[in-house]
Amino acid sequence: MSTGSTAIGGARRRDSQRRQRRHQTLAGVLFILPALALFVLLLVGPLLYALYLSFFSQRLIGDNLFVGLDNYLYALQDAEFGQGLLRMLLFLVVQVPIMLGLALVFALLLDSGRLWLARLIRLGVFIPYAVPSVVAALMWGFLYGKDFGLLGQLGRTFGIAMPRFLGSELILASIGNVVTWTYAGYNMVILYSALQTVPSELYEAAGIDGAGPIRLALSIKLPLLRPALLLCTIFSVIGSFQLFNEPSILRAAAPDAISSSYTPNLYIYRLAFQDQRLNYAAALSFLLGLVVFVLSYVVTGAARRRLT
């Protein structure tokens, strides 16, 4: 009879365990539900609607036609879009290493504990990120101005010829400068936080082996920072291809250098809200998203291979 009672007791215990698990699962779902609802409503829903739009074509003369993949095929040979993409690729290849390099240097310097006024410097490097990008672009538009901008006036005072920052040759570099100034601090904070997780035993061990601060940085901190650097790189890749704010605001100060299709996002914005070609804009947005996805995958893959 004891086996029977243990069996029944066991079954009751299993039942109550199952009920507890169900309660926990239900509680979990209810906690996520609000966020999930917002996610579906505000992200997935519009994405699906845009996808739907991208398969149609509504013209000024004529009806709303289903055109299948026509918009995408047209996009593949759209010179304006292609030029924008190449421009962003160039931007990415030059600006991201410079910015991440600066962020890395600052993070390592701060972490080395040898920096005077470390807190002030940390704040100072981060503050540009706190400045709204519209304000930043307006400010830089003024700084860059040829005749009445601050840099131009300084140049004239010291007799140095200032380059035309807002001219079409240098505008990409000027935008890159604004983006670096804005986001170096943000990346620095990510890298600095990652450095805080390095176990101090490693430093002690390296110290015993006679490693100086630079050796410490190169052989211990840098390798352990790889995941954080990868994260920053992916954010930067996505950010570069989605560049919109800075060229959009600077356009007012340099309308001859920044065309309405200077970056893919500017082009999509113009197509949607100026030309009222919503279907084509939707198709381009998906195509851009695909490009960013593929590139992020490539970057991650390449980095992972080097890690192993």
Partner 1 sequence: MRRVLLSFVALFGALLAPHSARAADMKAELQKPTELTFWTWVPNIEKEVKAFEQAYPNIKVKLVNVGQGAAHYQKLRTVLKSGQGAPDVAQIEFQYIPSFVITKSLLDLSPYLPLERFKKSYPDWIASQVVSDNHIWAVPQDSGPMGMVYRKDLLEQAGISVPKTWKEFADAARAYHQKNPDSYLTNIPPNDPGHWVGLLWQAGSRPFGQASKDTLKINLGDPAAKKAVAFWEQLIKEGVVSVDPGWTDAWFQGLASGKYASWLTAAWGPVFLQGTAKKTAGMWACAPLPQWDGGKSISGNWGGSTDAVLATTKHKVAATELARWINQEKEPALMFANEQFLFPVNNATLTDPAFVEQEAPFYGGQKVNKLFVEISNTVPKDFQWSPIQDFIFSIGPDIFGQALSKQGDLGAALDAWNDAVVKYATQQGFKTTK
Question: Helix 278-307 crosses helix 45-54 at what angle (to 10 degrees)?
Answer: 120
Q: How far is the CB of 130 from partner 1 (least distance, A)?
A: 25
Q: Which is nearer to partner 1, 226 or 270 (CB)?
A: 270
Q: How far apart are CA 148 and CA 267, in angstroms?
A: 30
Is residue 83 within the footprint of partner 1 (CB under 8 A)? no
Q: Which is nearer to partner 1, 148 or 158 (CB)?
A: 148
Q: Which is nearer to partner 1, 104 or 266 (CB)?
A: 266
Is residue 214 within the footprint of partner 1 (CB under 8 A)? no
Contacts of residue 215, defined as CB under 8 A and 6 or more positions apart, other chains included, come to 206
Q: How far apart are CA 186 and CA 103, in angstroms?
A: 8
Is residue 201 within the footprint of partner 1 (CB under 8 A)? no
**Is the separation of the CB atoms in 134 and 244 below 8 Å?**
no
Is residue 147 within the footprint of partner 1 (CB under 8 A)? yes
Size of the site for partner 1 (CB under 8 A): 27
**Is the separation of the CB atoms in 289 and 77 below 8 Å?**
no
**Is the separation of the CB atoms in 81 and 290 below 8 Å?**
no
Q: Name the β-bridge partners of 66.
A: 56
Please choose, from the candidates 181, 143, 178, the residue with its C-alpha nearest in 3D space to the C-alpha of residue 162: 143
Q: Which is nearer to partner 1, 24 or 168 (CB)?
A: 168
Q: Using CB under 8 A, pick the residue from 88, 254, 288, 295 that binds partner 1.
A: 254
Q: Which is nearer to partner 1, 106 or 140 (CB)?
A: 140
Is residue 274 within the footprint of partner 1 (CB under 8 A)? yes
Q: How far is the CB of 274 from partner 1 (least distance, A)?
A: 5
Q: How far is the CB of 125 from partner 1 (least distance, A)?
A: 29
Q: How far apart are CA 206 and CA 190, in angstroms?
A: 24
Q: Which is nearer to partner 1, 74 or 286 (CB)?
A: 74
Give phi and psi for 284, each to the nearest 5: -65, -40
Range 239-254 burial, b when 16+ CB lie within 10 A, else e: bbbebebbbbbbbebb
What is the footprint of partner 1 within residues 49-78 (CB under 8 A)? 59-62
Site string for partner 1, 103-142 (x = CB under 8 A): --------------------------------------xx
Q: Which is nearer to partner 1, 195 or 258 (CB)?
A: 258
What are the structure tokens assigned to 156, written together?
Answer: 């004239």
Q: How far is the CB of 275 from partner 1 (least distance, A)?
A: 5
What is the footprint of partner 1 within residues 219-248 (CB under 8 A)? none
Question: Helix 133-144 crosses helix 171-196 at what angle (to 10 degrees)?
Answer: 130
Query: The tokens 């601060």 sit on which residue?
Result: 213
Q: Which is nearer to partner 1, 165 or 183 (CB)?
A: 165
CA 221 to chain centre: 24
Stretch of residues binding partner 1 (CB under 8 A), selected from 3-11, 83-91, 181-189, 255-263: 255-263
How many Å from the N-terminal Cα to the C-terminal Cα in the chain? 60
Q: Using CB under 8 A, pick the residue from 102, 253, 266, 283 that binds partner 1.
A: 253
Using CB under 8 A, list all residues that contact partner 1.
Answer: 59-62, 141-142, 145-149, 168, 252-257, 259-261, 270, 273-276, 278
